[in-house]
Structure 1
Amino acid sequence: MPVAPDDFILAEWVTTKVKNGYIPEPWVAALEYGGVGPIFEWRSDINVLEQQVPRLFELNHGGRN
């Protein structure tokens, strides 16, 4: 399922805590969405990825590449 608005609120809270040193930096952050094949077609909308991947990248990298 796409990341819900409440999930972004939580993700912003967590990444702020990491950046401020209150939570250890994780070695990976993953977005699990969609998949391959007929069972996943209804939940593999490219528009969702186009909107959410850059937002999550920005949260985790803060403009760093």
Structure 2
Amino acid sequence: RIEVSDPRGERNPAPRTADDDECFGRGLLIVAQLTDRWGTEPRTIGKTVYAEIDLPRETSTAREAGRGRRSNP
């Protein structure tokens, strides 16, 4: 989970498609495409925008491989 605080207002952001010559307006569209979930949470002042990515669960084989087992020559 990644969070960014935005004290400048309570308006909820929305992804939009920016024109080719615009310098702004692509951030949430990129976040929406790369994450599993995103949203906003109200705060006393402003809001927090968050994004979440589901990570794969580690299997026992992956844990064993990560232990750095070496075979003797």
TM bracket (short chain): under 0.3
**Which structure has more strand as a fraction of its residues?**
2
Q: Which has the larger radius of gyration?
A: 2
**Which structure has more helix as a fraction of its residues?**
1
